Amino acid sequence: MVTIEEALGIIEDQKIDLKTEVRPLEASLGYALSKNIISPFDVPEFDNSAMDGYALSGLYQEYRLVGEVAAGDSTIISLNDGEAVRIFTGAKVPENTMAVMMQEKTSVKDKTLFLDEMPKVGQNIRKKGGQLVEGQVVFEKGHILNPPSLALMGSLGRSELEVFSKPRVNIITTGNELVKPGQPKLEGQIYESNSYAISGALQQFGFEHHQKTQIQDDFEATKAGIQTALESCDVLIISGGISVGDYDFVKQSLEENGVNELFYKVFQKPGKPLYFGRKDNKFVFALPGNPASSLTCFYVYVLPLLHKLSGYRRTGLPTYQFPIKHGYENRFGRPSFLKAAILDGKVEVLDGQGSSMIQSMAKGNVLAFVDDGEKLTAGDLIRCKLIS
C-alpha cells in the first residue's frame, strides 16, 4: 500500500521517450509543442489602424481629405503634412501618419475633415511589432496549444505544427455481471457503465480510446484480453477485477503478461484497490470496478500520466482552494476524495459518498480532498479539483 503522494510520485517519475508528429493546425488543440516556435516576422507586420476613422498627417483639427485605404489594400500611400485619408480597422496606415482619429469624433464637409478634438501622437495606431518581433521565441517547447495559441500560430502563417503525440489508450472492462446498455439483461446482471465514464473523461481532456473490450471473469480470458489490448496501445485502462475477490483475475493476468507492478493499493477512499504497472513503454492502470472509485482514480492518477505522455510539463488537474459551505469531518479513516459541488464560490459536500455512487458525482462538479481525520468548519478552505 502506498500513500496518495507516493503513488503520484511514482507516476511523475516514470522515464518516457516522447513521440512527436506533425499535425495540421486545426487538429492541434491540446497538443504540446515539441519545438520552440520562433516568429518569422513582426506581428503586426505593419502599422495599422485600430479604428474605423481617418489617418492624419501632422497634428491639427482640420485636414485635406485625399483618399481612402481599406483593410487588405496593398497600395503604398504617403501623406503630406495636413492631409488625411479615410481608413478602416486593420488597414495599413499610410506613410507619415501621425495618428488615427475615430470616425465618431469627426465631420466632413466637401473635401475637408474636421476633428472634434486634437489628435495625439500614435493614437489608434497598432504598431508594427507591437505583439511579436521577428526572431522572438513565441512559445517554448512544451507549450500546450489552447485556442488563442492556434490563432497565433495561424497568424504566423503556420499550417502545420510539430507536437508531442498523444498516447493511444485502450479500455478493458471486466465482470460477468456486465451487460452492454441497450441489450436485454437477466436477474443479477447490471449494465456496464464505467467505460462510458472513462471514455467520456478521455474526451473531456482531449484524448480518445482506440479499442474497448468487455471480458468475463475468467483467468484465461482476462490474460488473453490483456495481451491483445496491450499490443495496440500506450496506456491500458482496466476496470474491475483488481480487488481481492475470488473472481478478480486482473492482477495475476497482468503479471503473466510481463507487466511490472509499480504500485498496488493506495491509502485513500475511494479507490483503494488501484493498480499501476508498466511493460516496456506501455502503462497499465487497473481501476477499481466501483463506478465512483474508477472515475475518481482516472482524474487523480490516470490523467497525470496521460498528460506526461503527451509532453505536458504540468500534469493532472490543478488543485484550488475554496471555502466550504458547512462543517465537515473526515471519519472514513483514510484521506478522501469527496464528491462535491461548488456553487457561488462555496463547496458543498454531497450526500452519497459511497464508492459505487456515481449519481452524486454526476450532479457535482468537483472532487474535494480531505485528509484522514481532517475537521473543517464552515468557511474553512477545502482543496478541490474541478472535474466539470
Q: Which of 34, 170, 268, 290 binds ligand AMP (CB under 6 A)?
A: 290
Residue 221 CB, nearest distance to ligand AMP (Å)? 14
Q: Are β-strands 53-56 and 83-87 bridged in parallel, bridged antiparallel, or unpaired? A: antiparallel
User: Closer CB to ligand AMP, residue 175 or residue 304?
Assistant: 175
Residue 271 interacts with ligand AMP (CB under 6 A)?
Answer: no
Tell me which residue has cell 501623406.
Answer: 79
Contact 165, 20 (CB under 8 A): yes
Using CA atoms, how far residue 314 sits from 3, 311, 321, in Å, is: 21, 9, 18
User: Closer CB to Mg ion, residue 53 or residue 240?
Assistant: 240
Q: What are phi and psi of 185, to 5 degrees?
A: -130, 155
**DSSP line for 258-297:** TPEEEEE-BSSBS--S-EEEEETTEEEEEE-SSHHHHHHH
Q: Which of 53, 119, 167, 175 binds ligand AMP (CB under 6 A)?
A: 175
Q: Which of 8, 178, 238, 286 binds ligand AMP (CB under 6 A)?
A: 178
Residue 296 interacts, among ligand AMP, Mg ion, none and using kind-specific CB cut-offs from 5 to 8 Å, with none
**Interface residues with Mg ion (CB under 5 A)?**
175, 240-241, 289
Residue 365: strand, helix, or coil? coil
Residue 241 interacts with ligand AMP (CB under 6 A)?
Answer: yes
Residue 219 interacts with ligand AMP (CB under 6 A)?
Answer: no
Q: Nearest-CB residue to ligand AMP?
A: 289
Residue 224: strand, helix, or coil? helix
Residue 173 interacts with ligand AMP (CB under 6 A)?
Answer: yes
Grid cell in block for residue 355: 464508492
User: Closer CB to ligand AMP, residue 289 or residue 304?
Assistant: 289
Question: How many degrees, rounded to 5, is the angle at CA 184 between CA 178 and CA 187?
Answer: 65
Residue 20 interacts, among Mg ion, ligand AMP, none and using kind-specific CB cut-offs from 5 to 8 Å, with none
Residue 225 CB, nearest distance to Mg ion (Å)? 14
Alpha carbons 316 and 308: distance in angstroms, whole number = 9
CB proximity list for 128: less than 8 A, separation 6 or greater: 42, 44, 45, 46, 47
Q: Which of 119, 240, 270, 335 binds ligand AMP (CB under 6 A)?
A: 240
User: Closer CB to ligand AMP, residue 319 or residue 356?
Assistant: 356
User: Closer CB to Mg ion, residue 175 or residue 364?
Assistant: 175
Contact 163, 33 (CB under 8 A): yes
Q: Which of 94, 291, 304, 316 binds ligand AMP (CB under 6 A)?
A: 291
User: Closer CB to ligand AMP, residue 57 or residue 173?
Assistant: 173
Which of 360, 359, 316 is closest to 338 using CA atoms?
Answer: 360
Query: Which parts of the chain fold into alpha helices (H)?
Result: 4-12, 147-155, 194-204, 219-231, 250-256, 291-297, 303-309, 358-363
Q: Which of 42, 68, 162, 177 binds ligand AMP (CB under 6 A)?
A: 177
Q: Which of 118, 137, 151, 190 binds ligand AMP (CB under 6 A)?
A: 190
Query: Which residues from 244-263 bind ligand AMP, rule CB under 6 A?
Result: 245
User: Closer CB to ligand AMP, residue 113 or residue 197?
Assistant: 197
For ligand AMP, how many residues bind (rule: CB under 6 A)? 18
Residue 365 CB, nearest distance to ligand AMP (Å)? 22
Which of 95, 98, 89, 90 is closest to 123 using CA atoms?
Answer: 98
Residue 291 interacts, among Mg ion, ligand AMP, none and using kind-specific CB cut-offs from 5 to 8 Å, with ligand AMP
Q: What are phi and psi of 29, to 5 degrees?
A: -55, 130
Q: Which amino acid is at 94?
A: P
Residue 189 CB, nearest distance to ligand AMP (Å)? 9
Residues that bind ligand AMP (CB under 6 A): 173, 175, 177-178, 190, 192-195, 239-241, 243, 245, 288-291
